[in-house]
Amino acid sequence: MGSYANGSTCANEDPPSAEEMKEPAFPPKPMPLHANGWLNDMKISSPTAVRVNIGNPGAFDPIYRAWTKKYPSAMNAFEKIVAYGKGKKTVLFLDYDGTLSPIVDEPDNAIMSDQMREVVRNAALHLPTAIISGRSCDKVFDFVKLTELYYAGSHGMDIIGPMGKTGSVTDNRSCTNSGAKQDKEVKIFQAASEFIPMIDEVFGLLIEKIRGIDGAKVENNKFCVSVHYRNVNEKDWPIVAQCTDDVLKAYPRLRLSHGRKVLEVRPVIDWNKGKAVEFLLDSLGLADSDNVLPIYIGDDRTDEDAFKVLREDKQGFGILVSSVPKESHAVYSLVDPSEVMDFLKRLVKWKEEEALK
């Protein structure tokens, strides 16, 4: 019996049609502020999970096989990645949901396995490692529980350094620790702290609005409110879109972005996961270095900003985690979190061997 990618538990799901698998071009256009436009994006952002044979995903799927010609498996390309990174400082950026944990129906249950935690901890011992998530730093830390990492929560708007301490500064790039490289020093950055009261307000309003929609869930991620509809019957998706639209009308400084079966309300500021990657590289004193190999692994549309930064800088590699073909700024692909774990193990082994030389 085959496994289901993306943590889907829907045993009767059909494979997506070619139309469903199409992703919109990047960068994403601003979302139209009406429910029908959103509904279309909700469908595009939430492809039905496709049955794959884990370990050899393309074996029975010619479309996926063709796609991996454009985005080769990072496992198959491992030697090439290593050859490029030889002697360089490798920095690892990891998305959380769908990358380190399976996508699950209940967001609070997106638990990382102990095995994955150990692999990530091991990675952090060998190379600077950051988790960049749409969730708040606190929530990601609750799941990951590792003090050795950098955490960039709320799409990178809230950054803390190793040791897991938190703090608050209103601004800004002035706290960039250019040139600083003390691994154990906590560095803090909050790009949008002025928005926190507004986000709290919108969170309260959305809770009220969606109260009657079966399966809908609103989550406060400090700098971002997430409206999850993965448990909502598709016939009710227009109501979710309409309710969110109704609330957002009064907040022109907030905008909407689409994740997989989640609407995310964020401040209108020039900040994203790509900026967070740049900030962290700068904090590590590696922003202008030719001797660095940043690797970013993620599965979301919001990860595309980071893939784009690495592609444009020609410094590093984006790796898209996906079991369905989709357009991306990533260079390589991995099929699911279990392959991410295999890749990280291999990366650590390579670093261990390199240290012995």
Nearer to Mg ion (CB atom), residue 299 or residue 336: 299
CB of residue 312 vs Mg ion: minimum separation in angstroms?
21
Count of beta carbons in the 10 Å neighbourhood of residue 23? 17
CB of residue 185 vs Mg ion: minimum separation in angstroms?
28
3-class SS of residue 80: helix
Distance from C-alpha of 134 to C-alpha of 226, rounded to nearest angstrom: 9
Torsion of CA 337, 341, 344, 349, to 10 degrees: -160
* Selection from 203, 196, 300 nearest residue 244 by Cα: 203
Nearer to Mg ion (CB atom), residue 94 or residue 292: 94
- Extract the tokens encoding 76: 């198959």
Nearer to Mg ion (CB atom), residue 144 or residue 284: 144
CB of residue 337 vs Mg ion: minimum separation in angstroms?
10
CB of residue 43 vs Mg ion: minimum separation in angstroms?
18
* Selection from 226, 207, 295 nearest residue 264 by Cα: 226
Nearer to Mg ion (CB atom), residue 58 or residue 98: 98
List, edge to edge, every strand of the sheet that includes 262-267.
217-220, 225-228, 262-267, 254-259
Nearer to Mg ion (CB atom), residue 98 or residue 325: 98
Contact footprint for Mg ion (CB under 5 A): 95, 97-98, 299-300
Distance from C-alpha of 225 to C-alpha of 266, rounded to nearest angstrom: 7
CB of residue 98 vs Mg ion: minimum separation in angstroms?
4
